[in-house]
Structure 1
Amino acid sequence: MIREAPVKAVVVGAGPVGAIHARALAAHDSVELVAVCGRTAAKTEALAARHGARPHLSIHGMLERELPDLVCVATGNRDHPGPVMAALEAGADVFVEKPMAWRLDEARAMVEAARSKGAALGVNFNHRFSDPYLRALDYADGEGLGTLAYAAMKFAGDLYKELDDPYCQLIETQGHSFDLLRLFCGDIAEVSAFLADPRGIGVYTSAAINMRFESGAVGALLGSWDGSYATSSSQVLEVAGTEGRIVVEDVIDSVRIFEAGRGDYREWRPGIFDAQGRDFWRTIDRHLHAFIDALLEGRKPPVTAEDGLRALEATYAAIRSFEQGQPITPGGA
């Protein structure tokens, strides 16, 4: 389906990430931000007023009154399915934060609902949209790597405040890691996971996951909430092939490109005056604008619902591998 400008858009969720969605929508020339829906009246009214939009406290009431073309869902991660399914049922396209759902059955229902409605459903894996990752992908797509050999990912940050699920570190955070590994290496054929609870709090805050890709390449992921986002190299992706290698550090910080047979490498970093390039949160604006442009041009979203589902399936394959003590193929129950 091709949307015509102006695209009537609404935001569900009046917290910090919802505010970024609202900012991005308001800045797009082909979008009219008409409403914000939240749980708290004061926060919802304040965010709506900032953009000249109408505040709502009921998702169903907002959908009935505003008849939006696009619904951006930035609620708490466990609360995504309700607004997403309601928006799809109302005929809207949807852009939802990651993880698209907490449970696999919820995510699969969302994918099927979007298919049955012919709607676009995008998932916000915004790391893809940093300049270092975009430059790395250009090099990889240009076959500079040769035949893929391996990928190594580390994503290790601070302990979250909400520790309400033994596997929340994997579900909350490492979807980004699985998405980036799939982006550069293709679908994951098999995972084998080892998890650790070093604090003895009933939450596995560190994980080491080995994997095999359908391409034949191998990979490893070290994911943790026992590190720190305040230090360098909290996130590093290295992808190597027979002809070259790329290393991306800290999403927005840098990309290094190594070519086989050369003793030097190329490095790119955002310039000193490139404020947006150094702003991690602007990757959300960039992704949302790309999603809107795809709607206007009748293209599939840059990150599809299927991409979101595959990342969640890989996450749950890692969980099952740990529980069963054996390698698991993603995509099962």
Structure 2
Amino acid sequence: MRVAVVGAGGWGEHHARIFSRREDTELVAVVGRTPDRTRARADKYGTTPYTDLDLMLERERPELITVCLPNEEHYEVTLKLVHTGIPLLVEKPLVFDLAEADTLLNDAGGNFFAINFNHRYAEPVQRAKALIDAGELGDLIFATWRFGGEANHGNSPHANLIETQCHGFDMLEHLVGPISAVSAHMTNKTYGAFSTIALALDFENRAVGTMLGTYDSSYAYPDTQHIEINGTEGRLVIHDTVRALTFSKPGDPVEQRWHSTYFDDESRTFAATFDRHVDALLQSLKAGNPPPVPAEAGRRALQLAHAAIESHKTGRRVST
């Protein structure tokens, strides 16, 4: 399968790495805005650099395009690519504006349009999902998401909420179920943007939850990413997305713990969660099935973020 990568930035390197090394894909192009940087990326992965998107589309005729651009600059390029009808994988966030999200989804129609919520493919997350689906936690009662590190400054005052905590919205709904209402508190005390947010959540299944997301912390701290889910029959905790999963039963002081083994480097590597997502994505694409994580999931995370913004502005609980 002929694959083109649009974006020559930091995480975009993982796009190039994955599709240049798979036996079932050929990386035919890297598209960037800066000629020297784009050429260096293309040279590293043995492909052709382009700074002209139209020229790349004409010459290379890719069968899949992946997009990894600066967080607040997704819309115009994504819309252009949606109109080509070529299968598309985009990085989160989908966009910052709900009307733009709706335009992208409407114009894509039934075309293959995926978003990279790669946290779903971490080994602890997949094991947690299996425990929940098997009923090992009983009825789910409450869930907690905490995630934060150093600031990623942007133009939007809600950059942390939309571009980073979108993983939290997606993960909690993936594991617990649809969120039905949001109540929000936010602070902009450090550098002017709402860099730390605290949310209270209601789920449709009558569970409750909390989210704490921040750009006023550090990714060096242990458990900077932490998910806890409690049910009537058990409790699980996901540590730092890929590091470990613990599972406990009521009244039992001995917990079960999964961690990657000595030779299992792949499952302890955060970047490998993207490789796993690509495995599932290509399998679906080749079979003519919808994406395993459709772009609609990006729109849903954005909807929840906008509900949190409305709650903070009005001081009210907002239905989602």
TM-score bracket, normalised by the shorter chain, equals over 0.9
1:258-297 map, 5 Å:
258-297=248-287
- Counterpart in the other structure of 2:93: 99
Give, in whole Å, the separation in 2 of the partners of 1:60 and 1:25: 21
Give, in whole Å, the separation in 2 of the partners of 1:110 and 1:143: 37
- Counterpart in the other structure of 1:130: 122
Q: Give the partner amino acid of 1:30.
A: D
Give, in whole Å, the separation in 1 of the partners of 2:94 and 2:304: 13
Aligned to 2:318, the other structure's residue is in SS state: coil
Question: C-alpha deviations, 1:93-131, integer Å up to 9, x for none?
Answer: 1111110112111112111122x2x21111111111111
Amino-acid identity (%): 38
Give, in whole Å, the separation in 1 of the partners of 2:311 and 2:275: 36
Of 78, 82, 89, the residue aligned with 1:84 is 78
Q: Give the partner amino acid of 1:285.
A: D
- Counterpart in the other structure of 1:43: 37
Aligned to 1:62, the other structure's residue is in SS state: helix
- Offset at residue 27 of structure 1 (A): 2.4
Unaligned runs of 5+ in 2: none
Contact kept in structure 2, 1:69 and 1:91, CA below 8 Å: no
- Counterpart in the other structure of 1:232: 222
Q: Give the partner amino acid of 1:259.
A: K
Aligned to 2:276, the other structure's residue is in SS state: helix
1:1-333 map, 5 Å:
7-114=1-108, 116=109, 118-160=110-152, 162-199=153-190, 201-330=191-320
Give, in whole Å, the separation in 1 of the partners of 2:53 and 2:96: 20
Q: Give the partner amino acid of 1:169.
A: N
- Offset at residue 289 of structure 1 (A): 2.4
- Offset at residue 259 of structure 1 (A): 2.3
Q: CA RMSD in A?
A: 1.4
Q: Give the partner amino acid of 2:112.
A: A
Give, in whole Å, the separation in 2 of the partners of 1:80 and 1:319: 21
Unaligned runs of 5+ in 1: 1-6
Q: Give the partner amino acid of 1:196.
A: T
Question: C-alpha deviations, 1:26-60, integer Å up to 9, x for none?
Answer: 22222121111000111111222223322111122
Q: Give the partner amino acid of 2:72.
A: R
TM-score, reference length from structure 2 = 0.96
Give, in whole Å, the separation in 2 of the partners of 1:329 and 1:236: 25
Give, in whole Å, the separation in 2 of the partners of 1:288 and 1:315: 26
Give, in whole Å, the separation in 1 of the partners of 2:154 and 2:227: 26
Q: Give the partner amino acid of 2:12.
A: G
1:75 to 1:145, Cα distance in 2 relative to 1, 3 A: same
Contact kept in structure 2, 1:252 and 1:278, CA below 8 Å: yes
- Offset at residue 218 of structure 1 (A): 0.7
Give, in whole Å, the separation in 1 of the partners of 2:185 and 2:311: 8
Aligned to 1:166, the other structure's residue is in SS state: coil
Give, in whole Å, the separation in 2 of the partners of 1:151 and 1:132: 16
- Offset at residue 144 of structure 1 (A): 1.1
- Counterpart in the other structure of 1:4: none
Q: Give the partner amino acid of 2:82.
A: L
Contact kept in structure 2, 1:28 and 1:289, CA below 8 Å: no
Give, in whole Å, the separation in 1 of the partners of 2:55 and 2:154: 32
